[in-house]
Amino acid sequence: MNKNFGLLIDGKWLKNKKTINVYNPFDGKKISAVSIADSKQTINSIKSAHLAFQSWSKTSAKYRSEILKKLFKLTKESKDILSEIITLESGKPLEESKVEVEYGASFIEWAAEQALRSEGKLFESPENDKKMFYIKQPIGVVVAITPWNFPLAMVTRKVSAAIAAGCSVILKPSELTPLTALKFGELAIKAGLPKGVFNIINGNPKLIGEILSTNSMVKKITFTGSTEVGKLLMKDSSSTVKNISLELGGNAPFAIFSDANLDKAIEGFIAAKFRNAGQTCISANRLFVEKKIFNKFVKKLVLRFKKLKVGNGFENNDVGPLISEKAIKKIKNHVDDALSKGGKILIGGKKSKVGKLFFEPTIISNVNTKMKIFSKENFGPIIPIIKFESDEELIRLANQTEYGLAAYFYTKKTSRIWKVIENLDYGMLGINSGKISTYLNPFGGFKESGLGREGSLQCLEPFLETKFVSWSYND
């Protein structure tokens, strides 16, 4: 598994004495150790990317597209091994890992196609002897910092769009799940990416992060992770005024109105809540149910929770482990905080006997807005359930958070749907659907959930500069 050591710099795999261990969150066993970059190697990766950019940025979009198509094919062909690595280092159920590989690969194919459609614009000029237009050019060296919850898809969403745009990339994957990214690096080299176009470095996030976000050769930072680290990167990168895209935390409301199809709403909720054991930034984080159906709905939901199988991701379970002790502690703290403020456990509420990093799927009622489970991102298999009586009350409560990433609601009433769409302060909405992620989705959020969008028709845009030209041909 650790044949690629941990560092891909200037087309070479490097091995260092200093390593970090990678563990399987299911049983805490060590899977591998990967080399970590020191300051010098981090700077070397920037220099390599900078040099590679000079030629890569001049290649044709067609050429870049061809290489990405090869990478797409190789990724699809490696589905089994990639899914196994994802489950091994993240703990998520194998079926989910397979879906992640398909999802991750879709970004590569999409970027390969969108590379061919990058365009500038010629305007009708206000002056007779002038042509006015703008062209798009790759922004330069891109740093991509990615999280552990989607060890492949968050990498491909950023890296393939940057490469399609003509940028070179330094990827710093999460130290908790570097192995998937390293396997992907192997495929990228095999697909024909020239040396230095794609570098991977692992190591101390603070040390590496500071070097990358303050170096003037780096022109763009694209980050997915916590709001706290996102703010830090924004601050550090301000010294060189870097372009920055941030996809940060969420606190997704999931609302069910009394006219909704309850069975479908429950399945949509389970999908939105339990993907990766609740560890996604678009996971349902607060469940709002209209008063008229509250009791009936709660009974159905508790029954549905009882059916969830918690356990090893390799053994056909629905809910895997959390990623770390820190994550378990946070969930426990949120539950204790809710109980101390009058919350009531309807099911679950404690660590699961399955293993050290498992928590029981939990529903908490009697919730108020002062509780952490209302205001903070839980990132685990727990959910507060809250009654509401009107559209206005739902909109007010749903928006009562500093986050604004994803929101979901179930209703059949068309007049209400438009009102809710317009008034929810969120970047992405699921209406009668708990699944919103595709390459077509402009992924990103309002407020402190981030800056910019990834994927979508505009997937190359974050990696392009606009150059305006006013050309007098009356010379």
Active site residues: 247, 281
Nearer residue to ligand ADP within complex by CB, 225 or 268 = 225
Spatial separation of the C-alpha atoms in residues 175 and 451, rounded to whole Å? 24
Which stretch in 14-22, 204-212, 342-350, 451-459 sits in contact with ligand ADP by CB under 6 A? 204-212
Dihedral of alpha carbons 302, 308, 309, 313, sign: negative
Stretch of residues binding ligand ADP (CB under 6 A), selected from 13-21, 144-152, 307-315, 396-404: 144-152
Judged by CB under 6 A, which of 205, 413, 423, 436 binds ligand ADP? Answer: 205
The yes or no reply on residue 204 touching ligand ADP (CB under 6 A) is no
Count of residues that interact with ligand ADP, criterion CB under 6 A? 14
Q: Pick from 140, 209, 268, 430: which binds ligand ADP (CB under 6 A)?
A: 209
Q: Which amino acid is at 399?
A: N
Query: What burial letters (b/e) apply to 62-74, b meaning 16+ CB within 10 Å?
Result: eebbebbbbbbeb
Query: Between residues 266 and 284, which has the closer beta carbon with respect to ligand ADP?
Result: 284
Residue 13's contacts (CB-CB under 8 Å, 6 or more residues apart) are 4, 5, 7
If one asks whether residue 206 binds ligand ADP (CB under 6 A), the answer comes out as yes
Candidate residues 10, 95, 175, 259; the one interacting with ligand ADP per rule CB under 6 A: 175
Stretch that binds ligand ADP, among 224-232, 305-313, 448-456, 461-469 (CB under 6 A): 224-232
Q: What is the largest CA-CA distance in the chain?
A: 81
Distance CA 441, CA 460 (A): 13
Residues 211/42, Cβ–Cβ less than 8 Å: yes
Under the binding rule (CB under 6 A), the answer on residue 232 touching ligand ADP is yes
Which residues are within 8 A (CB) of 321 and not within 5 positions of it... i.e. 6 or more apart? 25, 26, 91, 277, 313, 354, 355, 356, 357, 358
Determine which residue in the list 151, 225, 250, 278 makes contact with ligand ADP, applying CB under 6 A.
Answer: 225
Residue 226 interacts with ligand ADP (CB under 6 A): yes or no: yes
Stretch of 160-168, 170-178, 238-246, 369-377 lying at the interface with ligand ADP (CB under 6 A): 170-178
Binder of ligand ADP out of 229, 331, 385, 386 (CB under 6 A): 229
Q: Which is nearer to ligand ADP, 221 or 293 (CB)?
A: 221
CB of 366 to ligand ADP, least distance (A): 29
* Shortest separation between residue 330's beta carbon and ligand ADP, angstroms: 9
Using the rule CB under 6 A, is 6 a contact of ligand ADP? no
Q: Strand 428-431's sheet: what is its strand order?
A: 344-347, 362-365, 382-388, 284-290, 252-256, 406-410, 428-431
Tally helices (H) and strands (E) across the chain.
14, 22
451 scored as a contact of ligand ADP (CB under 6 A): no
- Tell me the DSSP string of 113-177: HHHTT---EEEPPSSTTEEEEEEEEE--EEEEE--SSSTTHHHHHHHHHHHHHT-EEEEE--TTS
Out of 91, 93, 104, 147, name the contact with ligand ADP by CB under 6 A: 147
What six digits make up the tokens of 446? Answer: 């309002």
Q: Which is nearer to ligand ADP, 341 or 372 (CB)?
A: 372
452 within 8 A of 444, measured Cβ to Cβ:
yes
Block residue for tokens 């000079």: 54
Chain residues in the site for ligand ADP (CB under 6 A): 145-147, 172, 174-175, 205-206, 209, 225-226, 229, 232-233
